[in-house]
Amino acid sequence: QLFKIACIPGDGIGVDITNAAIQVLQKLSETVGHFAFKFENLDWSSEAYKERGYYMPEDGLEYLKKFDAIYFGAVGWPDVPDHISLWGLILPIRNALNQYVNVRPTRVLRGINSPLKNCGTRDLDWVIIRENSEGEYAGHGGTTHAHSSNTVATEVSIFTRVGIERIFRFAFETAKSRPRKKLTMVTKSNAQRHGMVLWDKIFTEITKEYPDVETDKMLVDAMTVRMVLQPQSLDTIVATNLHADILSDLAAALSGSIGIAPSSNLDPTRENPSMFEPIHGSAPDIAGKGIANPIGAFWSAAEMVRWLGLEEAGEGLITCIENVTEAGMKTKDLGGSSNTKDVTDAVCKEIENV
Amino acid sequence: QLFKIACIPGDGIGVDITNAAIQVLQKLSETVGHFAFKFENLDWSSEAYKERGYYMPEDGLEYLKKFDAIYFGAVGWPDVPDHISLWGLILPIRNALNQYVNVRPTRVLRGINSPLKNCGTRDLDWVIIRENSEGEYAGHGGTTHAHSSNTVATEVSIFTRVGIERIFRFAFETAKSRPRKKLTMVTKSNAQRHGMVLWDKIFTEITKEYPDVETDKMLVDAMTVRMVLQPQSLDTIVATNLHADILSDLAAALSGSIGIAPSSNLDPTRENPSMFEPIHGSAPDIAGKGIANPIGAFWSAAEMVRWLGLEEAGEGLITCIENVTEAGMKTKDLGGSSNTKDVTDAVCKEIENV
Ligand SMILES: CC(C)[C@H](C(=O)O)[C@@H](O)C(=O)O
Ligand SMILES: CC(C)[C@H](C(=O)O)[C@@H](O)C(=O)O
């Protein structure tokens, strides 16, 4: 089986970790044997933008559709305003390819220390399901009286019944597939009376379809408290685009480092390719130094492998990653002194023993 | 000097901790001597709402204006939808009395353990300045096609130049008054291109007025990571209504418990009374049991005392609180076994020795 993968390394450490992920994926396919990847590299980056004035060519989104999956490094660079780089690259891809679900698993891997006192391996084991197509990232809003002392700017969050129902169904299915079968739904419906109240209402409806899933509701502010003080009490979490963006970064930090965590942008209809990316970003301060933590990139690659139907190979890769963290081979963000290449080589070596 | 204080105990543990705070404030004025409080109790609660159909009477907001300050317990009760209780009570007060600044100091008090491994007393010492009058809490938005499968709901965040400038000026003044003189500004301007970009722009302008304050900028998601992993690196923080709501709950958790943290809703023009409230909420699960942590309530009371111009008495009260936490007298949320009365009595006793 041959899978065509579009690789968009993007900016900064996105390049380092995409290279590392490709190396690991090659090794995995060679070792397991019954599948192979054909990678195509797309130079859609801030550097390219500065030269030619655009991130992706006009037919870029169309072009991506011919791939089986997309592997994404990171986008963002200090001399391009972030809202330009993101709306020029990552956000249009998520939208155009109907990747309405963003899945962000986090757990304290073997060998990694949580910054929390009372949180050992697996005490924190969450999957955050992020709504990825609407809400606070709908792109609506504007500015009036921009050049007067009277400027008014708006950000408009859009929530639709269709959008909410589908993300809840995905979240319930995820919860159902996990041993604890618990789903926590997050809103801020006490202060935001329209979209958030619609979330509450539709959640109550869909809950009835899943009697075997245990549910509860949290306000987003109180949710951060629970994540810190009772990490064991949470399992699957569903939240809006912005809330889940914030909570998933917090989750990554609580599990040891933002460098660990993967993110899958999924089109569950499978009509379009899905996109896999570590959540850490381009990290200009350490870019090009060869010291970026590739664990989040490998875990993202493993999620891609699973999504392509190679469940066993994907799980195997995650085990290899954890064997390496457990052996104490860690980059600086995790308190170690290994570099990207050390960790990559160690994971490749583990794969050979799968 | 006599200060007239409106007390709104509200719901749940709001009642317990308001009583405790009044007791402590009485003791403080008796002991120090040169000022006194006249408390007027307002039964604006969810219980009252259920009986008579409203939280505050029609002239409620007008009525509050004759006080020197407002002490607020908590609002919210399971059988009233949160968006009704909050928009019936706390949010209109913040708006009508021009309390456009919300100040949320957090630090690891003596004797209290942070849930973080690398965070001792004072390693976390932040003041979060929350925009309290617009943004995500502007109250705009609506629902269309409510009864079809096609429902669309919006939440509209409104940001104005006037609103942004004044919160930044307050934040810079706060930063300037603190030993480290550092201000971190939080947005999500990479995804939200209008209001958040206006925040960035105006921040750059106002920064020039305060050459002695060191500034930096964070995205709200990455900010949670920094709070967890590098608490020592932060000092004063300014953020939007929703972002700061989330970050301040997280801050409270990282400093040991949501039961500790105070919140001051200020009208810096002093044309209207300001309002002081602990941030913990009504906590229905422990309401009426006499075990609520009153520390957040006392700290809020101390902030009120300071705002009334009694700087020394306010600081003194904070010292008394910390002497009590240091002595190990703690409620359950902090890992202790004291109840509300124990802690209140201990703080009163400390005050006698001021
Ligand atoms: C880069 C940015 C637009 C993005 C987001 O907010 O979605 C990132 O923070 C993430 O979480 O994937
Ligand atoms: C009760 C609620 C409206 C409130 C808020 O979100 O402002 C609370 O969470 C707070 O932080 O004061």
Ligand 1 atom nearest to CA at A76: 1
Please give the Cα distance from B214 to B172 (Å, whole number): 10
The structure tokens listed for A69 are 């999956």
Nearest to A290 by CA among A8, A17, A7: A17
pLDDT category at B192 given cuts 50, 70, 90 is confident
Q: Which of A153, A190, A249 sits opposite B224 (nearest CB)?
A: A249
Placement of tokens 């965590």 in the chain: A261
Q: Is the CB of B134 under 6 A from ligand 2?
A: no
Give the DSSP per-residue string, A302-342.
Answer: HHHHHHTT-HHHHHHHHHHHHHHHHTT--BGGGT--B-HHH
What kind of fold does domain A1-100+262-354 have according to CATH?
Isopropylmalate Dehydrogenase (3.40.718)
Burial (Cβ within 10 Å: 0-12, 13-18, ≥19) of residue A121: middle
Mutant choice from A89, A224, A258 vs B, greatest count of B C-beta within 10 A: A224
CATH of span B125-254:
3.40.718.10
Q: Under an 8 A CB cutoff, do A254 and B151 touch? A: no
Digit-coded pLDDT (tens) for B104-138:
999 999 999 999 999 999 899 999 999 999 999 99
**CATH class of the domain defined by B1-100+261-354:** alpha beta
Phi first, then psi, for residue A324 (nearest 5°) are: -70, -45
pLDDT of residue B193: 86
Q: In chain A, where does the domain assigned CATH 3.40.718.10 lie?
A: 1-100+262-354, 125-254
Interface contact B142-A281, CB threshold 8 A: no
Of A105, A71, A110, A74, the closest CA to residue A89 belongs to A74
What percent of chain B stands above pLDDT 90? 95
Ligand 2 pocket residue status of B245, Cβ below 6 Å: yes
Whole-angstrom distance, CA of residue A208 vs CA of residue A217:
15
Beta bridge partners of residue B265, listed in sequence order: B102, B275
State the DSSP string of A224-238. HHHHHH-GGG--EEE
Position A189 scores a pLDDT of 85
User: Helices B295-307 and B311-326 meet at what angle, rounded to 10?
Assistant: 160
Residue ranges of chain B that CATH labels 3.40.718.10: 1-100+261-354, 125-254
Mean pLDDT of B184-204: 92
Across the A:B interface, residue pairs with CB atoms under 8 Å apart total 211
* Ligand 2 center from residue B245 Cα (angstroms): 7
User: Position of tokens 């890992």?
Assistant: B335
Question: Would you say residue B354 has pLDDT above 80?
Answer: no
Tens digit of pLDDT at every position of chain A (354 positions): 999 999 999 999 999 999 999 999 999 999 999 999 999 999 999 999 999 999 999 999 999 999 999 999 999 999 998 888 988 999 999 999 999 999 999 999 999 999 999 999 989 999 999 999 999 999 999 999 999 999 999 999 999 999 999 999 999 999 999 999 999 999 998 888 898 899 999 999 999 999 999 999 999 999 999 999 999 999 999 999 999 999 999 999 999 999 999 999 999 999 999 999 999 999 999 999 999 999 999 999 999 999 999 999 999 999 999 999 999 999 999 999 999 999 999 999 999 986
